């Protein structure tokens, strides 16, 4: 049932020639408790061999192409330099929270080469292999020094930085709980430039020094948008299973994953190993961490060749794309105006909406003021005019009417009896008009007019 025995033996012999420590490396992925059949194990060995050969071929082909033409390297460097947060996203940025600077967190064991990776990335982006080092590198035994504070490095240097690298202290090999707590703090609360990283296993003198020197950290706390996990290739080849267990435990922490995306992995110190050993470590790390070794693991040795520079650009492109892919979603934050104006006018959209709302508020306030106070002002003015008797119509009530000359005697006698000579007369038509106007004014004012009583007094006098 297991297939051709001779073929399986051939595959195992060839795999053992490629991997002298195959028995130890295979235990990272398969154990006796899993009950893996011989057929599945043979298929696993064939797949491992194919991956190993593809990695070797890709290294050779990449080096040959760049030796003939480095146009691809220039294009990759130009894409990194022209990056702005959100430029690799395929969504409407007005509905997402886009940071001003994309923060890439670099984590890994002590002595893995995190600070050396920062210097390598800076030299590649600046296209200057002799640029001074920005991050302090340790030399000699890993216990002699290292990074104890979170250090922030803007890329590109000296310009409008679109992303930054956050170098951190090496993971603790004594307590895995320290690693979990510190990673949780970085991911949930963000990172501070100059913030000390203190383990519970540190002695009291070191803790006092870190607390004293770490009081001047930056006020800016950046949210982590992507993670680079650094692994020492030499340690992976020579160390015991404890090193692999520490790497696997820290890498598989759910806090380092953004949704379904796991961190990118960088293998360093490959310049000490041969090309076959570097490919072997790349496959082993992929099996240990459960990620594709040819797509998500980047071999960056301490060398100055064009192939290494292009690998650095591909690493940054991978991290920035995944950072823009996992932007935080804020639905309908700017309503319809933000969707019309696109991704580049967040501030402009806010100002436009504020101006529109302010204009509408002022318009409503003006109309309300006219409606409330306009009728009262009209009634008040009419009442004042009637009080001072400026209207000629009211004057007609008190004017002296000259007796009319009658043609007939009867009419003359009736006129003289009705209206005596020299006495004031009332113009009833004018009085009725004033009464009607007075009713309109009373309705507008809501109370009886003063001139209505004046008219009645005049009428009584008459």
Predicted pLDDT of residue 166: 95
Higher pLDDT, 155 or 337: 155
pLDDT higher than 70, residue 69? yes
User: What local confidence, expressed as pLDDT, does residue 419 receive?
Assistant: 46
- What pLDDT is stored for residue 83 in this prediction? 93
Q: How far is CA 83 from the centre of its chain?
A: 15
pLDDT at residue 250 above 70? yes
Q: What is the model's pLDDT at position 330?
A: 75
Task: Give me the chain's average pLDDT, please.
Answer: 76
Residues 101-123 have pLDDT tens digits of 999 999 999 889 999 999 999 99
Residue 106: strand pairing partners: 167, 228
Residue 70 — very low, low, confident or very high, per pLDDT cuts 50/70/90? Answer: confident
Residue pair 130/69 in contact (Cβ under 8 Å)? The answer is: no
Tally of helices (H runs) and strands (E runs) in the chain: 17, 10
Q: What is the pLDDT confidence band of residue 14, given thresholds at 50, 70 and 90? A: very low
pLDDT, residue 175, reads: 81
CA 159 from centre of chain: 21
Average pLDDT over residues 219-241: 88
The pLDDT tens digits for 175-189 are 888 888 999 999 999
Mean of pLDDT values over 411-431: 53
Rounded CA separation 155/192 (Å): 17
Distance of alpha carbon 41 from alpha carbon 39, whole angstroms? 5
For the beta carbon of residue 336, count every other beta carbon within 10 angstroms.
10
Q: What is the mean pLDDT of residues 146-161?
A: 84
pLDDT of residue 328: 84
Rounded Cα gap, residues 41 and 447, in angstroms? 103
Q: Are 419 and 401 in contact (CB under 8 A)?
A: yes
Mean pLDDT of 342-368: 76
* Closest of 425, 417, 436 to residue 462, by C-alpha: 425
pLDDT in tens, 274-290: 989 999 999 999 999 99
């Amino acid at each position: 049932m297991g297939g051709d025995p001779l073929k399986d033996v051939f595959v195992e012999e060839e795999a053992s020639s490629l991997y002298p420590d195959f028995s130890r490396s295979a235990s990272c992925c398969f154990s006796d408790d899993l009950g893996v059949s011989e057929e599945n194990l043979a298929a696993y060995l064939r797949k491992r061999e194919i991956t190993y050969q593809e990695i070797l071929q890709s290294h050779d082909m990449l080096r040959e192409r760049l030796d003939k033409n480095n146009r691809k390297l220039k294009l990759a460097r130009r894409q990194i330099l022209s990056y702005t947060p959100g430029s690799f996203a395929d969504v409407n940025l007005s509905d997402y929270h886009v940071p001003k600077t994309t923060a890439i967190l670099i984590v890994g064991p002590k002595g893995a080469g995190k600070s050396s990776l920062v210097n390598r990335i800076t030299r590649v982006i600046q296209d200057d292999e002799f640029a001074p080092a920005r991050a302090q590198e340790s030399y000699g035994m890993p216990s002699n020094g290292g990074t104890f504070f979170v250090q922030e490095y803007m890329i590109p240097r000296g310009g409008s930085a679109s992303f930054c690298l956050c170098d951190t202290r090496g993971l603790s090999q004594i307590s895995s709980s320290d690693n979990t707590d510190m990673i949780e703090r970085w991911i949930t609360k963000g990172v501070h430039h100059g913030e000390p990283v203190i383990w519970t296993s540190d002695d009291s003198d070191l803790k006092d020094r870190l607390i004293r020197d770490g009081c001047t950290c930056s006020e800016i706390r950046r949210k982590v948008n992507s993670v680079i996990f650094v692994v020492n290739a030499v340690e992976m080849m020579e160390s015991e299973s404890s090193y692999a267990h520490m790497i696997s435990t820290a890498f598989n922490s759910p806090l380092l994953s953004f949704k379904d995306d796991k961190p990118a992995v960088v293998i360093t110190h490959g310049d000490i190993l041969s090309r076959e050993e570097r490919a072997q470590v790349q496959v082993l790390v992929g099996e240990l961490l459960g990620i594709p070794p040819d797509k998500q693991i980047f071999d960056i040795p301490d060398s100055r060749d064009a192939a290494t520079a292009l690998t650095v650009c591909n690493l940054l492109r991978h991290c920035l794309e995944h950072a823009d892919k996992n932007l935080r979603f804020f639905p309908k934050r700017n309503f319809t105006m933000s969707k019309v104006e696109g991704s580049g006018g967040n501030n402009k959209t806010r100002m436009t909406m504020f101006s529109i709302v302010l204009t509408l508020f002022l318009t409503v306030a003006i109309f309300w003021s006219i409606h409330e106070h306009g009728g009262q002002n009209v009634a008040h003015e009419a009442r004042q005019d009637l009080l001072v008797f400026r209207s000629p119509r009211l004057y007609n009530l008190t004017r002296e009417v000259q007796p009319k000359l009658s043609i007939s005697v009867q009419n003359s006698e009736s006129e003289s009896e009705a209206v005596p000579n020299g006495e004031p007369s009332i113009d009833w038509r004018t009085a009725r008009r004033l009464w009607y106007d007075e009713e309109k004014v009373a309705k507008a004012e809501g109370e009886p007019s003063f001139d209505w009583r004046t008219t009645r007094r005049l009428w009584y006098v008459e």
